[in-house]
Amino acid sequence: MLTVEMLRQNGALSGLTDAQLTAIAEMSGNDENAVIGTRIGTLHGQYDADIFGITGIAKNQGEKSYDYAKRVLNDYKAQIASTATIQAQLANAKNEIATLKQKLADGAGDETLKQQLKDAKALATQLQQQLTQQASDSAKQKETYEKQIKDIYVDSAFGEAVSDLKFKAGITDGIKAVLINAAKAEVLAKGEPDFIESNGKKVLVFRGKDGNVLNNPANNLNPFTASELLMQTSLKDVIDPGKKQTGGGTGGNGGNGGDGGNLFDLSGAKTQLEADKAIENHLLAEGLTRDSAEFADRFASMRADNNVAQLPIR
């Protein structure tokens, strides 16, 4: 994390006031905390997904990862103990059947032994049915939990995708919710959500009717993200991407070298924070994702071309 003392040692920042240095240090600390929190949350999410995948026991709403793991271990231990008990009883019943059959074969054919053999067979059948039913119930429960977990991850991905979008003026929260749900339905009609492993973590992708992952040709054929697919739905028509300038602008490249998309109307932005937010929303509305190299390049370029650094930090 950057501190005021560290910033003062940088000659390029010598012209900044103490208030500006303090604001930068505060932003650095907040950003570091946000990154660490996100990484911890992602790590816990991976643990939760792995625990569910192994045991089939879903995490409760609002349950902490530690409490979830502890509960699952206890529940899983109980399930194993129950199954082991039934299996032991079944083994004993089968041994008793074998013993009684041997006695009958040796000529001890009284009615008592025959009844005992009949009872032992009935018990063995009952125990086997219990094991079969238990396995069936576990499979159904796991399938239900898998769908619940999947829905949670998908809802979270869509929620994150729309959290920073700026809607056009006049659209109420109620209408926003309707529009977002409609856009989500459009995406889900186009592709079935699924998860793949990428760099050691689970990544949400969408598969077409042919079962293949839907890839974005505008992003080096990487799998479409929820955000990118949302920007291909009717939602794009109600998002405010910001207004592009029509004049020469004040950018350092004197007209942006022919890229017209970097000249951006930031007249409403009074601080660097407001300008950065407007640029970010604009790039998201174009379908770029924050973790892409193109997003980072465009963000830095638009920031420089529109002289954002000349604005107050906050």
- Is 60 exceeded by the pLDDT of residue 73? yes
Each residue's pLDDT tens digit, 164-176: 778 888 888 888 8
Which stretch of 40-49, 113-122, 170-179 has the lowest confidence by average pLDDT?
Answer: 40-49
Which contacts of 64-67 are long-range, i.e. CB under 8 A and separated by 24 or more positions? none
Which contacts of 53-57 are long-range, i.e. CB under 8 A and separated by 24 or more positions? 56/138, 56/141, 56/142, 56/145, 56/146, 57/145
- Helix (H) / strand (E) element for 247: namely none
pTM over 0.85: no
